[in-house]
Amino acid sequence: MKRILVIISLVFFALSLNAKEVNKSNKFKINELILLPHIGKVIKNNSKELNISAEQMQRFSKEVKQVYPPKFQNLIRKAFPIEKKVQRKVLKGATPLELKKDLDEIAKLKREAIDIKIEALNAFKKILTVEQWKKIIQLSK
């Protein structure tokens, strides 16, 4: 009997862990049109190895981080509820023709967002030395 209780407890424990994973996956996620390196994260995690100067860090903050992320996130936030709506409609049996307007809007928003991200990457590149940029590309892979 004790063995059965232990097994049942383990099953419930495993199910609760799985439920937590499901809840985590339902959080706001950014699904970009295409995946590009997240240069800010690479720099933050490797600033000493990249020999990033204080002046460069100030420029990143002023010329990149204050300019591009708010625009990018705004577009992605607009796309997110439309994506969720499309997902619900698909599960109810909607056809591609019925979803065309929403899908076109998602594509438009994500296209604008990726253009902004490309501009941000180019802004980072202008601040970095050629050697730093090459190292960031290696670290991004």
Q: Domains in the chain, start-ordered, CATH in brackets? A: 2-26+39-140 (1.20.120)
Euclidean distance between the first and final Cα of the chain, in Å? Answer: 53
User: Measured between alpha carbons, how far is residue 35 from residues 5, 66, 114, 140 in Å?
Assistant: 47, 21, 9, 11
Chain Cα centroid distance, residue 116 = 14
What string of pLDDT tens digits covers the 141 residues of the chain?
544 433 444 334 444 444 444 445 556 566 777 888 888 889 888 888 899 999 999 999 999 999 999 999 999 999 999 999 999 999 999 999 999 999 999 999 999 999 999 999 999 999 999 999 999 999 988
**In terms of pTM, does the model score above 0.85?**
no
H or E stretch including 123?
Answer: helix 96-127
